[in-house]
Amino acid sequence: MMFKSEKKTRAALSVMAVMLGAAVAPVSSYAQDASADAGAQAAGAPRLGWYKTCNKQEDNDVCVVQNVVLATGGQLVTGVGLITVSGKVNNKSLQVSVPPARLIPPGIGMQIDGGKPQKIDYLMCMPDRCVAQIPLTDAMVASLKKGTDLVLTSINFRRAPNPIKISLEGFTGAFDGEAVSASKLAESQKSLQDSMQKKADEARKKLEDAQKAAKAQ
């Protein structure tokens, strides 16, 4: 016989899989080291912005309001998701995904408009990412709606802080609005992939031109 706590744990992990699957859908490869830290600072990194997805999972309705930051090469830099589960399981949580090779004890620091940092403890680390989670409160949602920028800071294996700033523009509309349809999300993700491919092609051409120029000299 399965205890209630075990059922809740399984449900939470199942919901996390839904959130992560949606969050990293546009990503073709993941950072395995500190390369994503540097890539995140590159200007013009492609963005999808804040959006909400909803789906049915067993006897639960799961909605996730999320934003994913990618490096120009397509690696996951930071993904944040506000998860609302209703049905047999009723739960609200905020999850943050960062590349692997993080220091675990410091957790992830969350700041809204330079306010006091709030620590988010890691839930688990996998080969392609580490995930931190904290209960989502109404006060937290209100602060995000009023805020301008969200800064999420993890500590990489070199003990260097890696702050990632995410604009809160569009958050309220995504949180209070309707979920994005599967077709619209697929269209946005394709546009993002095309943008990433274009930037990769441009970067490769610049490198090739520089190599040709060096050989000519």
- State pLDDT tens for residues 104-116: 999 999 999 989 9
197 located within any domain: no
How far the first Cα of the chain sits from its last, in Å, is: 76
Q: How confident is the model at residue 199 (pLDDT cuts 50, 70, 90)?
A: low
183 located within any domain: yes
Residue-range definition of the domain harbouring residue 157? 4-192
pLDDT greater than 90 at residue 135: yes
With beta carbons less than 8 A apart as the criterion, state whether 31 and 76 touch: yes
pLDDT score for 25? 37
Q: How confident is the model at residue 31 (pLDDT cuts 50, 70, 90)?
A: very low
The CATH number linked to 130 is 2.60.40.1880
211 located within any domain: no
Number of domains present in the structure of the chain: 1
